[in-house]
Amino acid sequence: MASAEVLAGVDIVALRLGEEGLQLLLIRRAQAPFAGDWALPGVLVNGRSADASLDAAAARALHDRARIAPAHLEQVATVGNASRDPRGWSLSTFYLALLAPDVPAQGEDMRFVPLAEVLEGQLVLPFDHAGLVALAAERLAGKAVYTSLPLYLLAPRFTVTEALAAFQACLGQAVQHTTLRGRLEKMAQHGWIHDTGEKNRPRMGRPQKLLEHRPRAGGGFIFDRSVLS
């Protein structure tokens, strides 16, 4: 690569909620460097890229590489230096994507792994992808304190118990059931949540009311107080 060239790309930290917490989407790299390694899905946007924007490139990275349409997608930051990629100077604008819980891993070159394994260094990723994952997880935890972002990890219809699990997974700590219920009631007052009048039919335990998430454009609902207060 000529010294004047800089690789510019978009990487995606895509998360879904599993039974034991948040899971991270990884794609097996087909080309060097790090061919065969598991990494974040991403695309290069140098030169002939047909993408009209970084957001369009981020959507393409998930659609083309994993055939996924995220429930929520937001830009986190841009990083760049001469050491993050063995090919030379590179920039990455990376995104946080929240996926529905039933999104499958399609094919042998795509899998979900526990987010904790990457954050704790048990699973090593190429480039600086572990650092990008940590920054995106920090963004999600910070926004989960004051917004409804964790609800994008649930099916459109959910119970209060499922919402509690989503918030606690994003925050990494316990949330009071009564506090969260108050947040959901506030969202209902503003039309973001609708009581379906139906109940789920769990294999164990009592049936719970099914709520429906009706998100608006521009991100999650913003609360006036911390969910941890």
Burial 78-91 (b: 16+ CB within 10 A, else e): ebeeeebbeeebbb
Nearest alpha carbon to residue 219 among 143, 132, 157: 143
Predicted pLDDT at 65: 79
3-class SS of residue 12: strand
State mean pLDDT over 59-79.
93
For residues 177 and 74, membership in a common domain is answered with no
Predicted pLDDT at 119: 98
Is the pLDDT at 173 greater than 80, yes or no?
yes
- Distance spanning both ends of the chain, measured CA to CA: 53
For residues 63 and 81, membership in a common domain is answered with yes
For residues 155 and 167, membership in a common domain is answered with yes
Helical (H) or strand (E) element with 110: strand 110-114
The pLDDT-based confidence of 213 (bands split at 50, 70, 90) is very high
Percent of the chain with pLDDT over 70: 98
Our count of domains for the chain comes to 2
Is 31 inside any structural domain? yes
Is 220 inside any structural domain? no
- Other beta carbons less than 10 A from residue 49's beta carbon: 15
- CATH number of the domain residue 31 falls in: 3.90.79.10
How far is residue 169 CA from its own chain's centroid? 12
- Determine the structural domain holding residue 94 and report its residue range: 7-143
* Segment 77-103, tens digit of pLDDT: 999 999 999 999 999 999 999 999 999
